[in-house]
Structure 1
Amino acid sequence: MSDIKRIESGPRMSQAVVHNGTIYLAGQVGKPGESVTEQTKEVLAQVDRLLAECGSDKTRILSAQIWLADMADFPQMNAVWDAWVPAGHAPSRATGESALATPDYKVEIIVVAAQN
């Protein structure tokens, strides 16, 4: 039976869970009130940090779910995303609009990745 490793666990959730070589990240959000561009940059920096802590990196992302508070922000979020994803390593991805935890959040990204 495989061990389950939990990263930055709290009473409600873990920021990352690793099982059988797969990394599951919790939804990552940026600083409330910032622009969608700044929040996306912060979120992707958190994804980089968590993946590194789990023994992986953004070239190993299998899938991403992106939630925007307003689909009008899609082009700005994509500009940051497209600059961040390494050429040839685009994961499967879905993007939708949703009310997030607070109105000050503009983007939330959930990632599943493989360990190195």
Structure 2
Amino acid sequence: MSVQRIEQNPRMSEASKAGNLVILAGQVADGETVASQAQSIFDSIDALLEKAGTNKANILFANIYLTDINDFDELNKVWEGWVAADQGQTPSRATMQVVRLARPEWKVEVQVFATV
């Protein structure tokens, strides 16, 4: 089975596709609030999934990393407006607090696993 790399650079690929499985790297974004970062992240996820030939209705699982778990409700408002719940396709997920992300201004990071 071959592996397709999407938006690859010398360090990593933003997405990898093998067979019917698509795995995205953790997505981060700039912005002042968790909500603004999350919306940008979800837009990036939509674009990457499209490049892989799929969409958010096919997300199996999401890992969500927050630098402050007190931002959980703010994140969930954006998440609930984004996921494909209207299609009966709310994915499984885990949300956890981390000490920090790779850059101190990043407040949230999201990684997803999807099918084609």
Query: Where on the TM-score scale, by shorter chain, does this alignment land: which range?
Result: over 0.9
User: Aligned equivalents of 2:83 and 2:10: distance in 1?
Assistant: 32
Q: Distance in 2 between matches of 1:63 and 1:8?
A: 21
Where 1:67 maps in the other structure, the secondary structure is strand
Secondary structure, counterpart of 2:105 in structure 1: coil
CA distance in 1, matches of 2:83, 2:12: 27
Q: What's the % identity of the aligned pairs?
A: 44
Between the aligned partners of 1:29 and 1:94, the Cα distance in structure 2 is 16
TM-score (norm 1): 0.95
- In structure 2, the partner of 1:89 is 89
- The runs of 4+ residues in structure 1 deviating greater than 6 Å are none
Residue 69 of structure 1 pairs with residue 67 of structure 2: yes
State the aligned residue count: 113
Letter in 1 for 2:58: R
SS of the aligned residue for 1:28 comes to: coil
Distance in 2 (alpha carbons) for counterparts of 1:101 and 1:77: 19
* Contiguous gaps of at least 5 residues in structure 2: none
Asked if residue 113 in structure 1 is aligned to residue 109 in structure 2, the reply is: no
CA distance, structure 2, for counterparts of residue 103 and residue 72 of structure 1: 17
Structure 1, unmatched stretches of 5+, are: none
The RMSD of aligned alpha carbons is: 0.7
